[in-house]
Amino acid sequence: MQLVPHSALTAVMRRDKKKAKDYADRHGVGRFYDDATDLINDPDVNAVYIATPPHVHAQYAIQALRAGKPTYVEKPMATQYQDCLDMIKVAEETKVPLYVAYYRRALPNFLKIKAYIDGGVIGDIRAVDIRMYQPLKDNLISQVEENWRVDPQIAGGGYFYDLAPHQFDLLDFFFGPISAANGFKNNQAGLYEAEDIVSANFRFESGVMGTGSWCFTAGKHNTTDTTTIIGSEGQIQYETFGSKVVLAVDGKEKETTSFEMPKHIQQPLIQTIVNELRGEGTCPSDGVSAARTNYVIDRILGKIAVADGNP
């Protein structure tokens, strides 16, 4: 935010005032607060970034929107789809912009993949397959009580709820909305309350089909982060949390490209937000697109019944 032209970090807030001051001192921020309302109502703050755990995203976003401040919310947008709808409703009522931190939409590797898809490089898209297997974090067992990412009351679910939204948001970016999704979840290791393994099937409005499998208690040799896009004339394979893209077109040599990531991973998306607020461009990640991802995740985990309708 400090490196983007026409942007400045004016104030920060943390519940622990000493830690807020420490952050402000280390990052050259002029003001710090221990109450979110004070930051939101600061007359020199004209946009708000909500970087809390998900369970209070809706509360603070709605407060900021009602104060007339364009709002940038961390992902996932909320812990449940209904909260996303409530946030969108307030944004529409107040006519204040609402953005969500799906910053991969602005990174060079994913823009290149979208160009491949839109350009028909691998022909007509048939299907997509997601595979994510991770070993247990080394400190997970000893710190599980402090790890909000595996507390469904705070995070909405477990690591699936934390990581899979990036994957599904990218697919929404590439192919448009998912119209149907379902899945199975389980807690195999029993180390925390949230699910630690998930499988899913989904279908896009365009007719493209999808499958996915996630396990967060796999052996280290099984570690993988691979999404494969299957076309009528080839395939694209990539890492959601890496920089490598492999393009395989029928009759041609396979191409592997590793893209250089920006020093600050969110900077390109924040640049689009600043541009849009200045009337000089458009941000590709807003509340409406982000809510669709929450809908898909909640459908897969069984938090939304089919009768509740489409996003």
Q: Could you tell me the two tokens for 82?
A: 């209904």
Q: Tell me: the pLDDT tens digits for 194-206?
A: 999 999 999 999 9
Cβ distance 11 to 31 under 8 Å?
Answer: yes
Token pair 């807030």 is at which residue? 13
Whether 306 has a pLDDT exceeding 80, the answer reads: no
Residues 179-190: tens digit of each pLDDT: 999 999 999 999
pLDDT at 220: 92
Q: What is the DSSP string of 123-184?
A: -SEEEEEEEEE-PPPTTHHHHGGG-GGG-HHHHSSSHHHHHHHHHHHHHHHHH--EEEEEEE
Structural tokens at position 13: 């807030």
Nearest CA-CA partner of 263 in 86, 81, 107, 134: 107
Intervals of CATH 3.30.360.10 along the chain: 104-260+287-308
Average pLDDT over every residue of 52-70: 98
Report whether 148 contacts 256 (CB < 8 A): no
- Please check the confidence at residue 142 and state whether its pLDDT lies above 60: no
Q: The tokens 């048939």 sit on which residue?
A: 126
| Peptide bond preceding 70 in cis form (omega within 30 of 0) | no
User: What is the rounded distance in angstroms from the CA atom of residue 156 to the CA atom of residue 298?
Assistant: 9
Summarised one tens digit per residue, pLDDT across range 202-233 is 999 999 999 999 999 999 999 999 999 999 99
Residue 27: which H helix or E strand, with range? helix 17-27
- Classify residue 144 as exposed, middle or buried by CB count within 10 Å of its CB (0-12, 13-18, 19+): middle
Q: What is the mean pLDDT of residues 84-101?
A: 98
Cα angle at 281 between 2 and 208, to 5 degrees?
110
Is residue 59 within 8 A of residue 83, CB to CB? The reply is no
The whole-number pLDDT of residue 305 equals: 77
What class does CATH assign to 104-260+287-308? alpha beta
Give the pLDDT confidence score for residue 292 in this predicted structure: 98
169 residue type, one letter: D
Assign a CATH topology to domain 11-103.
Rossmann fold (3.40.50)
Structure tokens at 247: 């393009």
Percentage of residues in the chain having pLDDT higher than 70: 95
Phi then psi for 174, rounded to 5 degrees? Answer: -75, -45
**Domain boundaries for CATH 3.40.50.720 within the chain:** 11-103
